[in-house]
Each structure stands twice: as C-alpha cells, then as structure tokens.
Chains A and B, each alone.
Chain A
Amino acid sequence: MKIRILLKSYLQLYFQNFLYLTMLFSIIAFELLANHLLEIGNLKKFSLLLIAMFILSLFSTMNLYYNDSRQNKYLKQKINSHWADWSSQLLVAVITNLFSSILIFIFSLLLRDNVLVDFVGILGLFSVGFLGSGIATLFQTQWYDHSTVGQIGVLLFIYLAFSGSVVNILTAVEWLLPPLSKIIMTLQVTSSITKLLPIVGQTLLYAMILFFISGLVYKKNRKNA
C-alpha cells in the first residue's frame, strides 16, 4: 500500500512539468533526423543515443527529486517508511528507463530481425539510463539537506562517467568508475551491439550498487534527523 501510494506520486512528479517528455521527444526527433543530418554508422549513432539516454534519465530523476523535495514532505511523513520510499524510487527508475529505452530504440531505426541485437540494444540503453538514475538518487541530498555536497557529487560522477576510459590516469581505477565511457569506447572497436552484453551487465550492477548505497546513506540520515 505504502509503495503503491509513493510510486503513484513519484510517477506523477516525473511527468509533472514535461521536462522528461520534452527531452524524450527531442531525442526521438534527433534520432529520426540523424541519418540525414550526420553521416554516421549505426554504432556511432547508438553511442550518441547512449549518451542522450544517460543525460535524459539523470536530469529527469534529478527533476523528480526536486519536485519531491518541494511537494512530498507531508506525504512521506504519513508513509513513514524509509524502505518503502527507497523501493518506490527504484521502481520508478526501472519503469521510466524501460519505457524510454524501448521507445528510443524503436525510433532509432536500429531494430533488426535478430532478437538478441534488439534485446542488447534496449538493455544497453536501459543500463545507462539506470546508471543516470542511480547517480541522481545517490546525490538527491542536493535538493534536501546538503545542496553543495549533492551538486559537487553529481558533477564529479558525470565527469567520471564520461572520462573513465578516456583519461589515462583513471584507467587503473576504471572498475571503480561509472562504466558509461567504457561502453562508448567498446562500441568504437566492436562490430556488433551484442558484444556490449558483459559491460551492460557491469553497468546494471554498478547502478544497483549506487541505489543500495543511497538506501543505506539516507536511512542513516533519517535516523539522525
């Protein structure tokens, strides 16, 4: 019951000020025009879509927590369950990213008869979207008690996500960094989207760990409040 009420509220907040839908439809418009505007192959196009998906979910999830901090204070007091709140945040991330990744992949004109390619394509988009949501969830404190820490954290993670496999100095600790750039770099040297499967799994695991850490950190904060 508690999760249902919070999930409904979160989904309402996600769509509330059209930021998500505007960004999503801008991406769809871009991918429909990309073949005509840019002379790039399917893999390069898919790389751009992965970056767009990451940014879409990061900004939309940040917007969700911004709306949440302004509107849901008393609802959460009534619900009074940290883990119901955390589960709802996780479910919203899964539902919205699944919706976005399916829609973006369909309109990317990359759909093939090969089910595995389609599955890995959608899963790849979903994983980077889930990663963006995980970062926004971990640093949701930017809209609550510690705005500076939250904002610096998001900026740092965005930088690390894009530069992890590009900046030489970071390659030694690459496994610690958000694997977005690793997916992009792998796409540049591979011939098929299906080769991404292991890194997609790593990305999903990484995002899930971010969600778990946020669950533990904010449970502790709530106890201290």
Chain B
Amino acid sequence: MKLISVNDLSLQIEGYFAFKHVAFSLSQNEIIGINGDNGSGKTQLLEAIVSNKTPDSGTIDYTPGVRIGYLPQENPQVIEQSTGKYLEEMRRLSKKLAVRKDQLQAMITYMGLSPYLDTPVNQLSLGLKRQVDFLSAVAGHPNVLVLDEPFAFQSEKTIQRMLDLIIDLKNNNSGIILSATQFDKRIATNFDQLYLLDGDLKNIAAEQKNEPVSLLVFHVSPNSMAITPDVEDFLVSNQDNQIELEVPLKKRQIILNKMVQLNYQFEGMRKIEN
C-alpha cells in the first residue's frame, strides 16, 4: 500500500531551484535512499515531505492515517531534560500508537544509550544527541520515518544498530526515507530504491541495473596504501590479500589507474552480466 506520493514537486529558494519536478512514491515495507551533493536540496525535499516547507508547485499525497517520524539534519532544541525522561515523553506523545514502554527501553539498551539515561540531553556529545533524536523519531512507531543524514557522526557499530531498527520498522509495515551525501554501498544494499537528487530526482538503482559492470581483481602488496573513499564505494571483497572491485564499465579505467597508483597489483578483470 502506498503511504506517500510525491508528484512533480518543485521548490525555489530566492530564485534558485532547490529541486524541481521531483516525483516518487513510498510504500509500506519499503526503504528509499536519496543521495545528493551538499546543497542539492535533499533537506529541503525532506522538509517539504514532513510539511515544514511549502513547495512552489506539485503535490504530496498522504494516505489517511499516515504518521511521520522525522529526524532532522540538525535539531536546534536545547533539551535540559534527562535522556530517559525525554524519550519517554516523546513516546507518550503518540499515545497508544507508540511503541510500548518496554520496547523503548529495549531500543535504548540496543543503541547503547543506557549509561546516559540520567544525563541531560544537552550535555551529550553530538553523535549521542543524534541517536537520541533518532530514537525519539522511532519511539512514536511512525508508519513513515524520514531520516536526514542519520548516520552522521556515528561509528560502524552504531550505524549497523540503527539499520537493524530501521529494517525492523520496515518489516512492521512502515516506509522509510533516508538521505545522505553518499551512502556506503553496504548501507545501500538495504534500500529498495536509491535515488540521486541533482536538480531533479534520478533512480540510481534503475540506471545501475542497465549499466554493465566489471569485476576488477587486485593483489595487495606490502607497499600498498590504504584504499581511498572514492574507490571504497566499489569494494565487494577484501580477503586473502585479494581485493575485488565492482566497477561500472565507464569508470573502469579511472579506478584501475587509481589502484595502480596506490600500489595494488592488477590481476585480472571479468565482465558481470546483470
């Protein structure tokens, strides 16, 4: 069942398009990722979806009964309450529709926030505050969860825990929209749709499906340097001194040159059929 339909949405800020002609829909049991450079309009789009911004044209249709949980990119609220009391208050805002008290406690424990239950939220580090904001968005058990840069300032372990909770929500009939400058490939594998916002919205997954890719295999030598983040996006395997990269054909030569510069020994290549 569709939860939200975004139809031909455009927003201008001081004469410039933050985004234009954006169209997509979010259904139950679906996770959508939106990539886009800094300033590409991701936050503006999410703010429009959660009704904090009025678009210049286009419509957003919400299925009756939709309840949105939102993690903004930055929450300016100064919360002097303790973490435990604040989260419990946010849970109770959604009354009977919220997660149960014991479920919230379990989520707090799972996220590793138990030691901070008595600490005022405004005294927590930036990363911990993001986790509290994430839990406060989830605590109402929304059927649409909108997360703006949810993994900023988070360790790999925390990201995995957040992903587990997101997937659990998805499996309980919610739809989730996440945005980030660039999603790690391991994170993106959990998405049902992946879009790129660059003025308009392009479905990357669909483009990638049609794009031929090659598997490049390299041997790690003692003087190999660490892989740079732009190459890491294509990494599919790293074991027994052998690295495998899954690279679109049109980027093959660039990545190959880069790896040779980093002192990796090229062993071979094969084309992968989609």
Binding site for B on A (CB under 8 A): 1-2, 5, 9, 12, 16, 70-75, 77-79, 225
A9-B92 Cα distance, complex, nearest whole Å: 16
User: Is A1's CB under 8 angstroms from B93's CB?
Assistant: yes
B70 contacts A77, C-beta separation under 8 Å: yes
Decide if B52 touches A78 in the complex (CB within 8 Å): no
B241 at the interface (CB under 8 A from A): no
Would you give the 0/1 interface string for B40-61, flagging 1 where the beta carbon is closer than 8 Å to chain A? 0000000000111010000000
For the complex, give the distance between the alpha carbons of A30 and B180 in Å.
55
When distances are taken between beta carbons in the complex, the residues of chain A under 8 Å from B93 are 1-2, 5, 78-79
B52 partner residues in chain A, CB cutoff 8 A: 73, 77
**Besides the contacts A12-B80, A77-B52, what 10 more A-B pairs have beta carbons closer than 8 Å?**
A5-B93, A12-B78, A71-B78, A73-B76, A74-B70, A74-B72, A74-B76, A74-B77, A75-B77, A78-B90
In the complex, what distance in Å separates the CA atom of A12 from the CA atom of B52?
24
Separation of A5 and B77 alpha carbons in the complex (Å) = 13
Chain B min CB distance to A100 (Å): 22
- A1→B49 CA distance, assembly (Å): 26
Q: How far is the CB of A113 from chain B (nearest CB, A)?
A: 42
Interface size on B, residues (CB 8 A): 17
B89 within 8 A of A: yes
Instruction: Give Cα A12–Cα B122 distance, bound, in whole angstroms.
Output: 13
Are A1 and B72 interface neighbours, CB within 8 A? no
Are the C-beta atoms of A225 and B54 separated by less than 8 Å?
A: yes
Contact B54 A72, beta carbon cutoff 8 Å: no
| Residues in B neighbouring A70, C-beta threshold 8 A | 76
CA distance A2 to B140 in the complex (A): 14
**Which of B54, B77, B136 interacts with A71 by CB under 8 Å?**
B77
B90 and chain A: residue at smallest CB distance: A78
Contacts of A78 in B (CB 8 A): 90, 93, 136, 140
